[in-house]
Structure 1
Amino acid sequence: MLAGLLAGAALPACAEIIDRSPRPKSRSDAGGSGAGAAGGGAEALVQAAKLTGTVGYVVVDARSGAVLEARESETAMPPASVTKAVTALYAMESLGSGRRFLTRVLATGPMRDGMVEGDLVLVGGGDPTLQTDQLGDLVADLRKRGLRGVRGRFLYWEGALPQLSRVAQDQPDHVGYNPALSGLNLNFNRVHFEWKRAGADWSVAMDARGSRFVPGVDSVAMKVARRETPIYTYSKGEAREDWTVASGALGKGGSRWLPVRLPGLYTAGVFRTLAGAQGIALPEARAVGTLPQGEELGRVTSLALPEVLREMLRFSTNITAECTGLAASGKGGLEASGRAMADWLRSSFGVSARFADHSGLGGASRISAADMARLLVRAEAEGRGLKPILRDTGMRNDAGKVIEGHPVKVRAKSGTLNFVSALAGYISPPGGREMAFAIFTGDPARRDAVPLSQREQPPGASDWTARSRLLQGRLISRWASLHA
């Protein structure tokens, strides 16, 4: 178990698989079987899953919104990462599909003989997808322009977005899916930790590796402590992050990604290291609160927003959801930004929800299956662009395995927290009735009772999630055959 925790295996807390519109009216919302259901088959599937907590679902005709089958569909449930589907719609409408995030390098004075006569400034534009290789290529371009150093300071600005130390407060320090947020981010605000056995001790390294560049990191340090537990401890100063790891959990060697809590400093430090490797001498980075004016020497441009969001939905990256949501709302914190998104949802779709954040990592978010389905129906009817960026999660057999080449397409977003599992999207049979659906299962009380130290892999959560996902696949198979 210790080895699994240390290596950061895919676990339930972070893993993802999978007023004008007509208000759907359920034909049978209490008993679990809707029109055309054979012998209460859906309810039998629910009982066979043996899930604690609540199971709520609805499947509707995607064109008319008519409810085909429902159970506990008006009960507000934690949506987990299904929240990201709402965030994608919110970001596209608020920021525009042509939006790209920029990371720039400015010079506050002219460059003479390769030296900037002023300050060099690394300017973050809120890009949640910036990677080390992109920074390395940016530095290479600056070197081609003749840059060798700076007479003044090396500054960084991360004020395009609020600086937040983490997404959710109720997660262990070491989980990489709960990073800091900033206007200047790198590698999803994670640092690579690697260890190897060296005699009676271990050698450790912290780096910001990409595919082509592997710069070391100075602002984050790791020490091995002679103990069995806790596996990790963490402390943060103004300009440094310090970790310790338990020797009893290390074994012969391994690696994992750890979260970064000082992302601006981390990114600027990596940039400085890459610059030094290519012959550009820079002093230590300093944060600046007000964006200086200067000439742009180079930039990194993100993919267009729909592609950024498509990748977010595919890999369920929390930092992308939070950065795009904060950029869309312009608010100074996640709670206020989540409220702004809920207000937008109500005014745009007539749907009620509560959002603690934009990724679904916080357990306080709530939306009902019926409201999620209403959103999906109207989003598709109005051509809001959600369905094309959802991932094809596939039809699954009775064992939960994807059936290759199945003619029915399922485009959906999944979400998983401890003892919470959700799935919502569209079922598209060839030439048949298209359906929208939402399946929310959850036992929030059981989730909240898990001690903080166990929230990466609490006992029973993995099995609970597996049963929930199997139920989701069986319900979708039922609906595809019964209602298509």
Structure 2
Amino acid sequence: MSGVMEDGSVLTRRMMLAGLLAGAAFPGWGEVMDSSPRPVPRGGKAAAAVGASAGDAAALVAAAKLGGEVAYAVADARTGTILESRQPDLPLPPASVIKAVTALYALDRLGAGHRFTTRVLATGPVQSGIVQGDIVLVGGGDPTLQTDQLGDLVARLAGSGCKGATGRFLYWDGALPVMKEIAEDQPVHVGYNAAVSGLNLNFNRVHFEWKRAGSDWQVAVDARGERFRPEVGMVSVAIARRDAPIFTYAPGLVEEWTVASAALGKDGSRWLPVRDPGRYVADVFRTLALAQGIRLEPGGRVDALPGGTELGRVESEPLTVVLRDMLRFSTNLTAECVGLAASGRHNLASSGQAMADWVQGSFGVRMAIRDHSGLGGASRVTASAMISILAQAEREGRGLKPILRDVGMKDDKGKMVERHPVKVLAKSGTLNFVSGLAGHIVPPSGRELVFAIFTADPARRDAVPVALRESPEGGKAWIGRSRRLQGQLINRWSALYL
């Protein structure tokens, strides 16, 4: 399934799945501003706001009633001259705004045309459709691989006459470090806190569906695509007659979930995380292969990549497309995979430090970077450093404007102002009681601005029990006020400086 978006790009199932998964849980919010005063034309230039938005910035901050800290800076994009700021050198958690830095890092280290590759190797010759040796599924760290692509790969193998192997079915997921989760301080059931490995599928989630059947429920767990819907044997979900907790999880050869019956309606579905993604991909590949007449034993993991002849492959989209989707849908798995691939390091802490070292060497500013997605709460970024990076990258011809989303100008009800001449090309970020937005304010002609806004109440965030961090009490209202402030500041700056 695909469609054409307003900017002419194609909306693929991969993009829709990424958007669904990013938006299904609290930290996926914050992709667009929630509300801002209505802009009005001024002097034949770009539309800009008047009234409160052009008033005192301190009053806007006070009215937001966020608590914690508010830091921002706006600068002339061409010269880098700061035009207005508040605590511009205060380090605050960037949340998903750090993905903009990750995108610059990956483009510099991997190149715009880089593609992630998933391959099938044979360790021996093929005779009468049978591999005289092992069949090996080899991951290349592709964070965007989907079931339909894997199904098509299997179909091509079957079409070439492949029927099985005399040896084993193996998989290698060592192209990237294997991690059961990105951040330790998130609830176990949230899909945005994905596992990471060199083999990934469906953003490392399985589809859990339930339907009411009399006094009980029918449950299905699969790795559904649009054209393929293989069952998943390594994950089980059972309905438990209880009120709380809503989810329990037990790792093992079969990852076992239970779900509280009180949380279920008549029917519904949800994507749940998989914590051993390499084995998950191998499990799905084998199921698809059996359906196509290719007999394989259950997959076994190998630590070292075997040599062999390539039987088939799947390639990702070019890195620019992968990053465009990452910035649009804020997919944490993509950020970690491209960041780890760019650094070549073996854990997130050292990979984040490698990216921080690159930032300092390339842009002359310091950042404390602990991961590539911003999901963890330990990273710290300043507004002044963020706008310095954005402005310099743009001046050097390696900026992100072509792949950043236009989050638009909003009216006082939070609705997009259609055909507004000013574009706001930006990356947002949200954690519990942390919100940020950074990017470019681009009028039809004349001066362009770069900006960064960070709001955070880390103490309030840390006080939320881990089990409640998917949707903490008061979090939605806090994010709404933060977004409104972001919109008010952008309208203010448009009125004063464009």
Bin of the TM-score, shorter chain as denominator length: over 0.9
| Percentage of pairs with the same residue | 64
| Distance of 1:426 and 1:250 partners within structure 2 | 43
Q: Which amino acid aligns with 1:351?
A: V
Verify the 8 A CA contact 1:329 1:341 in the aligned structure 2: yes
Q: Deviations 1:125-172 (Å, cap 9, x if unpaired)?
A: 000000000000001110110011111100000000000000000000
The Cα shift of 1:382 comes to 0.6
Partner of 1:338: 352
Look up the match of 2:259: 245
- Looking at structure 1, the residues matched to 181 and 245 of structure 2 have their Cα atoms a distance apart, in angstroms, of 20
Task: Find out whether 1:413 has 2:439 as its counterpart.
Answer: no
The corresponding residue for 1:256 is 270
Corresponding residue for 1:443? Answer: 457
Q: Aligned to 1:387, what secondary structure does the other structure show? A: coil
> Contact 2:73/2:451 (CA < 8 Å) preserved in 1?
yes
- Deviation string 1:192-211 (CA, Å, 9 cap, x unpaired) is 00011111111111100011
Task: Say if 2:80 is the partner of 1:65.
Answer: yes
Please tell me the residue identity of whatever aligns with 2:262: G
What is the distance in 1 between the residues matched to 2:201 and 2:25?
23
Structure 1 residues 362 and 47, CA, compared in 2 at 3 Å: closer, same or farther? same
C-alpha contact (below 8 Å) 2:54/2:496 kept by paired residues: no
For 1:48 and 1:403, locate their aligned partners in 2 and report how far apart those are by CA, in whole Å: 23
User: Which residue of 54, 57, 67 corresponds with 2:69?
Assistant: 54
Shift of 1:395: 1.1
Please point out which of 143, 156, 160 is paired with 2:158. Answer: 143
Q: Is 2:92 aligned against 1:90?
A: no
Higher relative contact order (CA 8 A, sep 6+): 2
Structure 1 residue 370 corresponds to structure 2 residue 384: yes
Name the CA distance, whole Å, in 2 between partners of 1:130 and 1:153: 23
* Runs (4+) off by over 6 Å: none
CA gap 1:334/1:38 in 2 versus in 1, 3 angstroms? closer
Counterpart position of 1:232: 247
For residues 333 and 131 of structure 1, the distance between their equivalents in structure 2, rounded to whole angstroms, comes to 25
Quote the residue 2:95 is aligned against. Answer: 80
2:202 to 187, 207, 210: 187
Task: State the 1:315 CA deviation.
Answer: 0.5
1:227 is paired with a residue of what secondary structure? coil
What residue is the counterpart of 1:125 in the other structure? 140
Distance 1:191 1:424, change over 3 A: same
Task: For 1:284 and 1:396, locate their aligned partners in 2 and report how far apart those are by CA, in whole Å.
Answer: 53
Aligned to 1:293: 307
Q: Partner of 1:374: helix, strand, or coil?
A: helix
**Cα RMSD after superposing both structures:** 1.4
Distance 1:244 1:39 in 2: 53
Deviation at 1:38, TM superposition (A): 9.4
User: Aligned residue for 1:196?
Assistant: 211
SS across alignment from 1:437: strand
1:184 counterpart letter in structure 2:
L
State the shift of 1:10 in Å.
3.5
CA deviation after TM superposition for structure 1 residue 221, in Å: 0.7
State yes or no: 1:308 paired with 2:322: yes
Deviation at 1:8, TM superposition (A): 9.8
Give the TM-score normalised by structure 1. Answer: 0.93
Counterparts of 2:400 and 2:150, CA distance in 1: 31
Q: Over residues 315-347 of structure 1, what are the superposed CA-to-partner deviations in whole Å (9 max), with x where a residue is unaligned?
A: 000000000000111111001111111111011
Distance in 1 separating the partners of 2:25 and 2:484: 17
* Paired positions, count: 459
Shift of 1:432: 2.2
